[in-house]
Structure 1
Amino acid sequence: MIQTNKSAIAPTHRRAHWGLRLGLLALAAPLVWFTYGQSRLSQPHVALVLGGAPEREQFAAEFAKAHPNVEIWISSGSNPEYTEWIFNQAQIPTSQWRLDYSAVDTVTNFTTLIDELKAEQVEAVYLITSDYHMRRASVVARIVLGSQGIYFKPVAVPTQAAPNRPETLVREFRDGARSLLWVFTGKTGSELGQRLSKG
């Protein structure tokens, strides 16, 4: 009969057990922070609009008209000429909106602007994106924004047509994992995300 040395195995088992606990705590922390923040959320003065569909900018222009004290930040939206035309048609002053084209996907919509949000001491934002995209965007927002103490209030853009690529749990999990990677390493894994998107 082979006898195992239980005293040698126990410390390894305990370390693995604590490692699992710490991992779960790291996953839960941004969500707890987000939930706490939502309970004390005041009206945001910035709206973060995620690019990817022209109707989001159309909606954002109307939103800006109804909320003149809210600054509109558009992350990688349509081409600047189209966006400028939309906001001019709605008679929104140029001082109320800004464009940024650094993002290449949903995760980088947040990570490329987080430093500017922090620099301007933004504590809360309206999150504007299509209704079908909101759940995945919210997963990323809870982690990226929540890790920086910034809270968000979702504002979904109603859509009629189905998206070209359906939203799936796999895409939500992938972007959530990439967001956590950014929190711990500062890297977004955008190259991996683009490869998976093509697959």
Structure 2
Amino acid sequence: LRSAAAGSVDAYLVLGGSIQREIHAAELAKQHPEIPILISTGSEDPCIWLIFQRDNAPMDRIWLEDCAQSTFGNFYFGMPILQQWDVRKVGLITSGSHLPRAMWLAQVLLGAHGIWVEPEIVSEQGVPGNQESWAKTGLDLGRSLVWAIASQFYQPECAGVRSLSSVDINRWRQEGFQCEHQGNLEASVPNPKSFLNVKNVF
């Protein structure tokens, strides 16, 4: 881990729960287009697509995963993907209020596989959606200690992993979707007629 800590970040892991984190991820994609980014159970696919389109950020190295249902799940399903990428140092994108428990779980689960975790805190407006009780955090920390050992022999696979560039925005516009109002994405829909099919929450 010491050698990994001294190296540069070679992937970013975005914990879902706030569209501000995905906006920050788009900025990182512009600054470091060569570094892959994994967004774990974030906003709906079209919302993330619109953020990257609006910011002219590259999408080809952005991956979406939607199997996780908790902070523990973010790392449970994210770790095998990071290992496939041969990641040694990951930038963990989350919020200040979510940082302590996220770092505890990350250091246990990712550290057990030689991955150094460097937090990157995103400023929030309001309360992020992935607030979890300290009781659940304690439970997840206990599970993480067990899984840190078990994952040396078995790793889960998430069928819901896809590239952001594969998102069919036209199909989503026809079906309708919702985005967090903080994303200010209404101006990102280029065709006013298509906007009639998009159900945004403002």
Normalised to the residue count of structure 2, the TM-score between the two structures is: 0.68
Assess, with a 3 A threshold, how the Cα gap between structure 1 residues 117 and 104 changes in structure 2: closer, same or farther.
same
1:10-68 deviations in Å (ceiling 9; x for gaps): xxxxxxxxxxxxxxxxxxxxxxx6xx466x43111210001111111111111222222
Cα drift, residue 77 of structure 1: 0.5
Cα drift, residue 167 of structure 1: 5.6
> 99, 115, 119: which is aligned to 1:134?
99
Could you tell me which amino acid in structure 2 is paired with residue 57 of structure 1? E
How many correspondences in the alignment?
153
Normalized per residue, which structure has more helix? 1
Assess, with a 3 A threshold, how the Cα gap between structure 1 residues 165 and 86 changes in structure 2: closer, same or farther.
closer
Larger Rg: 1
Q: For structure 2, list consecutive stretches of 5 or more residues without a partner in the other structure.
A: 155-202
Q: Which residue of 2 aligns with 1:184?
A: 149
Q: Which residue of 2 aligns with 1:43?
A: 8
Cα drift, residue 156 of structure 1: 0.6
Cα drift, residue 169 of structure 1: 4.1
Q: Which residue of 2 aligns with 1:89?
A: 54
**Is it true that 1:109 corresponds to 2:74 in the alignment?**
yes
Assess, with a 3 A threshold, how the Cα gap between structure 1 residues 166 and 48 changes in structure 2: closer, same or farther.
closer
Structure 1 vs Structure 2 CA RMSD? 2.3
Q: Which runs of 4+ in 1 moved over 6 A?
A: none
Percent identity at matched positions?
Answer: 34
Q: Distance in 1 between matches of 2:57 and 2:120?
A: 19
After alignment, is 108-117 or 73-82 more displaced?
Answer: 108-117
Cα drift, residue 174 of structure 1: 2.2
Q: For structure 1, list consecutive stretches of 5 or more residues without a partner in the other structure.
A: 1-32, 188-199
Q: Distance in 1 between matches of 2:128 and 2:63?
A: 26
Assess, with a 3 A threshold, how the Cα gap between structure 1 residues 165 and 90 changes in structure 2: closer, same or farther.
closer
1:161 is paired with a residue whose SS is coil
Q: Which residue of 2 aligns with 1:174?
A: 139
1:70 is paired with a residue whose SS is coil
**Is it true that 1:155 corresponds to 2:123 in the alignment?**
no
1:100-130 deviations in Å (ceiling 9; x for gaps): 1111110110111212221221111100011
After alignment, is 64-73 or 131-140 more displaced?
Answer: 64-73
1:132-162 deviations in Å (ceiling 9; x for gaps): 1111100000000000111111001112323
